[in-house]
Structure 1
Amino acid sequence: MSQQTVEPVNLAELAQFAMLLEVTAKQKPGNIDRCHDYDDTHLAHFLASAVLAGPVFSRVAEGSISLGEAMYDAVARTNIHNGGNTHFGAFILLLPLIAGRGTAGAAEVVKKTTIEDAVLFYKAFGLTQVRVRSEDPMDVNDPSSIQRLIDEKITMYQVMEYSALHDMVAREWTNGFLLTRRAANLLFELGDGEKNITKMFLSLMAECPDTFIAKKFDQATAEAVMQKAAAVLAGNETLAEFDEECIRDGINPGSLADICIAGIFTALLEGWKWDC
């Protein structure tokens, strides 16, 4: 009997797998996981988003779609459920990582984005319920913002440069995907296995104030959460207690979750193994 040939896992599948591994990891403080949902957004919404994004990831891997087109298509495809924004930030990171075959390539790919990419990114943004800064003059819900992109010839990379000061996901585009690289390195340091995803996530929480928390509350809250995470790592508070506190207070480190997904994808791409 002849041996069957099994094709290697492709980039699109790795990206979907990374999304699934992140959302199903146990006790990522404050975020949806297999242990708890939010009132209006559930684990199933995140699972659906990971599945629905597959065709877009495949087209990016093939090089048949621009980052702006992919961003709009990914959001439009995953916007069919009523769970609100699930993976907008993750798409911002995963799409260039797929196109660039990793962090080094992604850092170059993003610099080649165009004005058309920026326009499509803003249109995709308008389809979501992503939290933005109220004082931001480039309001995604204002049609004049898109006209400004065209008039001032602003590329998608320049949009990220503009947002980088207050948004850690956008900052990844401008700093060479440093935190994504850090997340992947942490997984390799911690070793193979699903349990290390939560450890990696907690380590990032202890190192960086989450900009989504800062937008939702303020910078002081984001820094207090970072210090709490460090206390858990030091053994001064349990992970379960920290998770319960975050859920109770509505504190969810969503930007770090997106970077966690990007880090898992990068690690998988480089040979890190998942095992439950």
Structure 2
Amino acid sequence: MSDRTPVQNAELALLLEVTGTPKPGNVDRDREFSDLRFEHFMAGAVGARPGLERAGAGDRLGRAFERAVAGMADQSAGNTQFGALLVLAPLVAAASDGELTPDFVDSVVRGTTVDDAADFYRAFEHVDVAVDDPPDGLEPLDVRRGSDAVPVLEARGLTLFDVMEQSADVDGVAAEWAGQFERVFAAAERILADDGPVSERASRAFVELLAEERDTFVVTRNGPEAAEEVQRRAKAVLDGDEDAAELADDLVERDINPGTTADLVAGALFVALERGLVV
């Protein structure tokens, strides 16, 4: 077994996630966007470390996440791993407390406070994050308002878990928070059961997750039809009817980025590392 700490494994998970190749629609070792490059993800992972250390030390989860985002954003591309850090923060907190299980992680996120929700909103002031407009009546809680929304959070007594639960139907990371990180833990077990280089296992896990459900980031940026196309073509890759590398090239060319799926892979890699994945 490795002697790495949970914080070290979280940083390594972020680095391993971006090395997974091919990873359709996302930055990997062979593919980049003009304004979002491999190096930005490397810098983002290193910059997030102090915030992840706070999660590992038992600091408030929202504060740890906000600090991780602030550090991640200390590179020229801005947002590289916002969603991945939202997945990783509670996993690191649970692992550092010695119990990385779905039930314990669920207790961690359910134990968040209104202050944690306020920190989550402040994190949006560090980077631009693609999100949908809020439903009618919830405009005061638009995350893009940042700290301006904090008085509304306080008046309504909304914890960070409450905020995630409200978004679970439309956001894949929020759904993990509300659902005991079910897909993350399942993908971790598949990575552990797989063989070969970790980068290839991560790539296969990515395609499997992409084939299971529509990527909510694609829904937000490109629309539901694009998300359904990506899901359908990921299934074709698994069936041997389409080439993963060709799909990756096509999605990058069209600026279709299944970023939520990448966030879940980062979480799955962390769980797998904590459970003995050898690198």
Q: Give the Cα–Cα distance (whole angstroms) in 2 for the partners of residues 141 and 208 of structure 1.
A: 26
What is the match of residue 41 of structure 2? 46
**Correspondence for 2:262 among 257, 263, 272:** 257
Q: Distance in 1 between matches of 2:149 and 2:50?
A: 29
Is 112-121 or 124-133 further displaced after alignment? 124-133
| 1:145 to 2:149 alignment | yes
CA distance in 2, matches of 1:58, 1:204: 28
CA contact (8 A) 2:31 2:252 kept: no
Q: Structure 2: which 5+ runs fail to align?
A: none
* Structure 1, 190-199 or 229-238: larger mean CA deviation: 190-199
Q: CA RMSD in A?
A: 1.6
Equivalent residue letter for 1:157: F
After superposition, the C-alpha distances for 1:145-196 in whole angstroms (9 at most, x for unaligned) are 2221010010000000111110010110110001101210111222353211
Distance 1:192 1:268, change over 3 A: farther
Q: Match of 1:159?
A: 163
Structure 1 residue 201: deviation in Å? 0.8
Structure 1 segments unaligned to the other structure (5+ residues): 1-5
CA shift at 1:54, angstroms?
1.7
Give the Cα–Cα distance (whole angstroms) in 2 for the partners of residues 110 and 261 of structure 1.
18
Aligned equivalent of 2:69: 75
The aligned counterpart of 1:3 is none
Q: Secondary structure at the match of 1:232?
A: helix
Shift of residue 62 of structure 1? 2.0
**More deviation, 136-145/204-213:** 136-145
8 Å CA contact 2:48, 2:70 repeated in 1: no
Contact (CA 8 Å) 2:63, 2:119: kept in 1 or not? Answer: yes
**1:231 equivalent in alignment to 2:236:** yes
Whether 1:222 aligns to 2:227 is: yes
8 Å contact kept, 1:193–1:273: no
- Specify which of 175, 183, 186 is matched with residue 171 of structure 1: 175
Contact 1:166 1:211 in 2 (8 A): yes
In 2, Cα distance between the equivalents of 1:233 and 1:33?
Answer: 19
Structure with bigger gyration radius: 1
Please, which moves more after superposition, 91-100 or 182-191?
182-191
Change over 3 Å in CA distance of 1:24–1:106 after alignment to 2: same
Change (3 A) 1:144 1:60: closer
Compute the displacement of 1:217 (Å): 1.4
The 8 Å contact of residues 103 and 177 in structure 1, kept in 2 or not, is answered as no
Q: How far apart are residue 135 of structure 1 and its match?
A: 4.1
Task: Give 1:56 shift.
Answer: 2.1
Query: Counterpart in 2 of 1:62?
Result: 57
Q: What is the CA–CA distance in structure 2 between the aligned matches of 1:169 and 1:91, rounded to whole Å?
A: 10
Q: Which residue of 1 aligns with 2:17?
A: 22
- Counterparts of 1:92-111 in structure 2, within 5 Å, are 92-101=86-95, 102-104=100-102, 105-111=104-110
Alpha-carbon displacement from aligned partner over 1:96-128 (angstroms, at most 9, x marks no partner): 001111242211100000000001100102322
Counterpart CA distance in 1 for 2:101 and 2:47 is 24
Q: Percent identity?
A: 36
Contact 1:103 1:266 in 2 (8 A): no
Q: Secondary structure at the match of 1:126?
A: coil
Residue 79 of structure 1: how far off its partner (Å): 1.7
Q: Aligned residue for 2:82?
A: 88
Partner Cα separation in structure 2 for residue 252 and residue 122 of structure 1: 24
Number of corresponding residues: 268
**TM-score in terms of structure 2 length:** 0.92
The reply on whether 1:210 has 2:215 as its aligned counterpart is yes
Matched residues in 1 for 2:205 and 2:42: separation? 21
Q: Using the alignment, how far apart are the partners of 1:135 and 1:116 within structure 2? A: 21
Secondary structure of the structure 2 residue equivalent to 1:34? coil
Q: Equivalent residue of 1:141, what SS?
A: helix
Deviations 1:38-76 (A, max 9, x none): 11111111101111122222222121x111111111111
Q: Which residue number in structure 2 is paired with residue 126 of structure 1? A: 125
Following superposition of structure 1 onto structure 2, how do residues 186-201 of structure 1 map, counting pairs within 5 Å? 186-191=190-195, 193-194=197-198, 195-201=200-206
- 2:157 alignment partner, SS class: coil
